[in-house]
Amino acid sequence: MAAVGAPEVITQLESAAKVLMNTGFHQLCVSLPPLMCSLTSDHVQAPPSMVSTEQRQHAEHVFLSFRKSKSPFAICKHILETSKVDYVLFQAATAIMEAVVREWILLEKTSIESLRAFLLTYVLQRPNLQKYVREQILLAVAVIVKRGSLDKSISCKSIFHEVGQLLSSGNPTVQTLACSILTALLSEFSSSSKTSSIGLSMEFHGSCKRIFQEEGLRQIFMLTMEVLQEFSRRENLNAQMSSVFQRYLALANQVLSWNFLPPNHILFFCQRQLLHQA
């Protein structure tokens, strides 16, 4: 697929998406990891239609091949900027996320940071994105931050600074986006069932979580409390502001419910893996 031009790639992906969506959601999930299915379940269900097994398998192969493409970043950006098919946008974000992890050591730090900034700006400029597409793009951002946390090639400070600017806007829509960014970071660093499947070891996830709970967790809590304090000083909240307030209450609860790693976290994760295998 890498040798095919951008318009042809988009045409292939959009045709494959149509086949899978017409097959029904239970078949669509065959081409997705479980976490991604949970994100798309409310948006891509369709009544089964006359789609052959061969057509479905070919459509699945198109997306799997696309996500395994070498350095798909330019084509994925083009897809995000031009395609109108939500599921194709979702897959482009997934391809970016998987390729960043797969090709991390080959990428320049400036390229990674540019990609992270592009994804955040993309979401910010498109408030009407389908929720599952937006959440997948923010998950890609969280994975980039997480992968760079161990070798310190990506700092959480920059993203927290950007979130702080979004919060200070006073715009409920923008503040909701900021909450989604912080929620994506919390979920990705939690090393729980919500952690994305990116082909890295439990030891890696545990090490990232330890670093995050020592530095990033407090920063998220402080940002969250600033928003809650701001809202508590207002006498009246309209429906939209009340919704934002509830989201940040839930975020604060997520921080306060954080499952902290013990000091010997590497041994802890090894024991968990052994129990899971048993």
Position 104 scores a pLDDT of: 94
Kindly tell me if the per-residue pLDDT of 173 is higher than 50: yes
Give the integer Cα–Cα distance in Å for 92 and 57.
19
Q: What share of the chain is helix, strand, coil (3-state, %, to 5)?
A: 75, 0, 25
Written as six digits, the tokens of 157 are 């400070």
- Rg from Cα positions in the chain: 20
Phi-psi region of 170 (alpha: psi -120 to 50; beta: other; left: phi over 0): left
Position 106 scores a pLDDT of: 94
Of the pLDDT bands very low, low, confident and very high (cuts 50, 70, 90), residue 157 is confident
Coil vs helix vs strand at 204: helix
- Mean pLDDT of all residues in 111-115: 94
Give the integer Cα–Cα distance in Å for 218 and 180.
17
The b-or-e profile of 107-137 (16+ CB within 10 A means b, else e) is beeeebbebbebbbebbeeeeebbebbbbbb
Position 149 scores a pLDDT of: 86
6 versus 277: the higher-pLDDT residue is 6
Coil vs helix vs strand at 235: coil
Position 9 scores a pLDDT of: 92
Please tell me which of 153-157, 231-235, 237-241, 249-253 the model is most confident about, judged by mean pLDDT.
249-253
Position 46 scores a pLDDT of: 44
Of the pLDDT bands very low, low, confident and very high (cuts 50, 70, 90), residue 5 is confident
Kindly tell me if the per-residue pLDDT of 217 is higher than 60: yes
Task: Please give the C-alpha separations between residue 251 and each of 57, 97, 178, in angstroms, as whole numbers.
Answer: 40, 24, 11
Of the pLDDT bands very low, low, confident and very high (cuts 50, 70, 90), residue 20 is confident
Of the pLDDT bands very low, low, confident and very high (cuts 50, 70, 90), residue 25 is very low
Average pLDDT value for the chain: 84
What ranges in 5-52 are assigned the alpha helix state H?
Answer: 6-23, 25-28, 34-40
Kindly tell me if the per-residue pLDDT of 76 is higher than 80: yes
Kindly tell me if the per-residue pLDDT of 29 is higher than 60: no
177-200 residue pLDDT tens: 999 999 999 999 987 655 666 777
Of the pLDDT bands very low, low, confident and very high (cuts 50, 70, 90), residue 203 is confident
